[in-house]
Amino acid sequence: MAETKQNVILFPFMAQGHIIPFLALALHIQKTRKNCTITFVNTPLNIKKLRSSLPKNSSINLVEIPFNSSLHGLPPDSENCDALPYSLIIQLLRASASLKPAFRELINDLICRNNGADAPLCIIADIFFGWTAGVAQEFNVFHAIFSGAGGFGLACYYSVWRNLPHKKGESEDFLLPDFEEAGKIQKTQLALSMLQADGSDPWSLFQGENLPEYVNSNGILFNTVEEFDKLGLKYFNRKLNRPVWAIGPILLSLDNRAQAGKDKESGISSEFCKEWLDSKPEKSVLYISFGSMNVISLSHMKELAMALEASEKNFIWVVRPPIGFDINSEFRGQEWLPEGFEERVILGSKRGLLVKKWAPQVEILSHKAIGGFLSHCGWNSVLEALIHGVPILGWPMAAEQFFNVKFLEEEMGICVEVARGKTCELRHEDIEAKIEMVMSVKSENGIEIRRNVGKVREIVKNAMRDEEYKGSSVKAMDEFFNAALSMKEKNKRKLINGA
Ligand code: UDP
């Protein structure tokens, strides 16, 4: 008799930084759990884009639910943060609650049709879709939140939004009342939306509705590794009285990355990048990228360029037009970089490579010539650095990135903070000194950081081991599926006994 397939519902928020980790999770489940089918839910335009970015042999079911952005004060066809300025992202977040009736109908339909053969085993939803837990409860379906952010970063983020501790005193730093073990947080480590929150602004209202719903979920899946992220994982375990499963790092394979990012305008070919890196000594190149969304100010860009020139280190820098200029316009190096910079450092000594728009980041980080990564510390970038054992120079810019940097520096000892936020005071001498500290073979701190990064790389490898010995992340994924299956079985027995 054919084995019953277990339907796993995946539902990310409509932003590339959320859809991509969910896609990586979907492909991972597809590969490792042959008895599962996957239903990937999103709005029509996102599903259309996903259809062309799935590998050809994929059996993932893409299901769209209707969404009309114009009804929520958004420009027409705004279904992804990609298409919106920062100021409108909160509007898309709040508008996403309008997906509830259609999502509810979808779950109901899956349960009723086909003699229940398509009934969900579980719903795995975004950290911004707390309301889906209520829908799952209504239908007695197992529910988990999937966090693409790390445990420590999300714990600080959750605690700040739940308590707004920075509003309770004048001090420039404070402890989180329910997460004191995180240590002192400085006001400069808060994203703008947190700093401006007063409990009645749109972000406070959104988080005030979203986060309390977490207790209705059966647990949280984290794209992280238990061995190094215990503090944050324990926080959620304690706060929600629910299990947490550290199942990471789950990232797209190189092939799937190429497929998923094929609409990105690449600034350089992987082959050219590799050739250039092949010509450089081991661990001699600093890679600089601020992720998929962030750009820096013109004055920061100039200071960074001066620091790179003075450091005499090799570098690959993903450059985009500075804040205030059209993100899609041509990069004007002659105007935005110090005079003669490109002639001297790029064309002359060939010490540096400027990549305009988009770089093959994982290929770069995996090359042995890379010795450091100056990053905004979005969690995907962090995981990609850890997998390849690359020391980090942190420059957080938004969301939970500030807490990630604090964690990587203070708890893990694999990072040095270079700058903080988009408007901080920044001197090129300080950046240069920190580059030297992390990359120089003679620097005590650098030696310590490289040693720690090496240890973390081993921990990460072991966590994903799936041979005779199972790593912690593989075990956590088993535990998650066992919990979901056991709830489904229990419900079935109840139904039979009750009938
Ligand atoms: N990325 C890339 N090339 C670039 C910039 C970013 O491949 O030029 C990828 C990077 O490898 C990572 C993702 O985009 O997988 C960025 O995710 P992250 O969580 O680091 O930051 P976000 O963009 O969400 O702020």
CATH code of the domain containing 220: 3.40.50.2000
pLDDT digits (tens, 9 = 90+) for 349-366: 999 999 998 899 999 999
- Give the closest residue to 149 by CA, choosing from 394, 476, 404, 463: 404
User: Both 142 and 291 in a single domain?
Assistant: no
User: Both 248 and 307 in a single domain?
Assistant: no
User: Both 472 and 456 in a single domain?
Assistant: no
Helix axes 230-240, 151-163, angle to 10 degrees: 40
Tell me which DSSP letter residue 211 carries. Answer: G
Strands 314-319 and 352-356: parallel
Helix H or strand E encompassing 370: strand 370-375
The number of the ligand 1 atom at minimal distance from the alpha carbon of 399 is 25
* Cα(91) to centroid(ligand 1), Å: 23
Checking if the pLDDT of 391 tops 90, the result is yes
- CA pair distance 118, 112, nearest whole angstrom: 8
Helix H or strand E encompassing 124: strand 120-126
Checking if the pLDDT of 1 tops 60, the result is no
Contact between 129 and 16 under an 8 Å Cβ cutoff? The reply is no
Percent of the chain residues topping a pLDDT of 70: 98
User: Both 426 and 294 in a single domain?
Assistant: yes
The number of the ligand 1 atom at minimal distance from the alpha carbon of 257 is 7
Residues 6+ apart with CB under 8 A from 377: 392, 394, 395, 396, 401, 404, 405, 408, 415
End-to-end CA distance of the chain: 25
Banded pLDDT at 432 (limits 50, 70, 90) = very high
Helices marked H in 164-291: 192-195, 202-210, 230-240, 254-260, 270-278
Q: Is residue 300, in this structure, part of any structural domain at all?
A: yes
Catalogue the E-assigned strands of 3-83: 6-11, 36-42, 61-64
Q: Is residue 105, in this structure, part of any structural domain at all?
A: yes
| Residue range 106-132: mean pLDDT, rounded | 95
Q: Is residue 257, in this structure, part of any structural domain at all?
A: no
Q: Is residue 143, in this structure, part of any structural domain at all?
A: yes
User: Both 82 and 41 in a single domain?
Assistant: yes
What residue numbers bound the domain in which 341 lies?
267-460
407-to-128, 382, 498 alpha-carbon distances in Å: 23, 11, 50
| Residue range 464-483: mean pLDDT, rounded | 96
Contact between 248 and 383 under an 8 Å Cβ cutoff? The reply is yes
- CA pair distance 376, 292, nearest whole angstrom: 10
Question: What is the model's pLDDT at position 250?
Answer: 97
User: Both 97 and 134 in a single domain?
Assistant: yes
Taking every pair of Cα atoms in the chain, the longest distance, rounded to a whole number of angstroms, is 81
Long-range interactions of 363-367: CB distance < 8 A, separation 24+: 363/254, 363/270, 363/273, 363/274, 364/273, 364/277, 364/287, 364/316, 365/287, 365/390, 367/274, 367/277, 367/278, 367/285
User: Both 295 and 387 in a single domain?
Assistant: yes
* Cα(246) to centroid(ligand 1), Å: 21
Cβ–ligand 1 contact at 358 (below 6 Å): yes
User: Both 96 and 144 in a single domain?
Assistant: yes
Q: Is residue 259, in this structure, part of any structural domain at all?
A: no
* Cα(101) to centroid(ligand 1), Å: 33
Contact between 178 and 167 under an 8 Å Cβ cutoff? The reply is no
* Cα(48) to centroid(ligand 1), Å: 21
Cβ–ligand 1 contact at 17 (below 6 Å): yes
- CA pair distance 111, 270, nearest whole angstrom: 46
Q: Is residue 1, in this structure, part of any structural domain at all?
A: no
pLDDT digits (tens, 9 = 90+) for 186-196: 999 999 999 99
Q: Is the dihedral of CA 460, 465, 471, 472 positive or negative?
A: positive
Q: Which residue's CA is the nearest one to ligand 1's atom 2?
A: 361
Residues 6+ apart with CB under 8 A from 85: none
* Cα(275) to centroid(ligand 1), Å: 22
User: Both 328 and 450 in a single domain?
Assistant: yes
Take residue 92 and report the two structure tokens written for it: 């898309």
Take residue 5 and report the two structure tokens written for it: 């397939």
User: Both 412 and 481 in a single domain?
Assistant: no
- CA pair distance 433, 166, nearest whole angstrom: 32
Contact between 418 and 434 under an 8 Å Cβ cutoff? The reply is yes
Question: What is the model's pLDDT at position 259?
Answer: 72
Give, for ligand 1, the residue of 266, 381, 387 to mutate: max count of ligand atoms closer than 8 Å to Cβ: 381
Take residue 443 and report the two structure tokens written for it: 């620097």
pLDDT digits (tens, 9 = 90+) for 363-382: 999 999 999 999 999 999 99
Question: What is the model's pLDDT at position 8?
Answer: 98
Q: Is residue 261, in this structure, part of any structural domain at all?
A: no
Q: Is residue 438, in this structure, part of any structural domain at all?
A: yes
Cβ–ligand 1 contact at 191 (below 6 Å): no
pLDDT digits (tens, 9 = 90+) for 59-118: 999 999 999 999 999 999 999 997 788 889 999 999 999 999 999 999 999 999 988 888
Contact between 405 and 190 under an 8 Å Cβ cutoff? The reply is no
Q: What are phi and psi of 64, to 5 degrees?
A: -100, 145
* Cα(492) to centroid(ligand 1), Å: 43
Q: Which residue's CA is the nearest one to ligand 1's atom 15?
A: 380
Q: In what order do the strands lie in the sheet with 6-11?
A: 61-64, 36-42, 6-11, 120-126, 142-147, 220-222, 244-246
User: Both 274 and 237 in a single domain?
Assistant: no
Q: Residue holding tokens 């001699």? A: 284
Checking if the pLDDT of 18 tops 90, the result is yes
Q: Which residue's CA is the nearest one to ligand 1's atom 6?
A: 291
User: Both 71 and 202 in a single domain?
Assistant: yes
Banded pLDDT at 423 (limits 50, 70, 90) = very high
Q: Residue holding tokens 């270079």? A: 418
Give me the number of domains the chain comprises. Answer: 2
Checking if the pLDDT of 123 tops 80, the result is yes
- CA pair distance 430, 110, nearest whole angstrom: 58
Long-range interactions of 50-55: CB distance < 8 A, separation 24+: 50/19, 50/23, 52/262, 53/23, 53/259, 53/260, 53/261, 53/262, 53/263, 54/23, 54/259, 55/27, 55/255, 55/256, 55/259
The number of the ligand 1 atom at minimal distance from the alpha carbon of 267 is 8
pTM (2 decimals)?
0.96
Contact between 324 and 298 under an 8 Å Cβ cutoff? The reply is yes
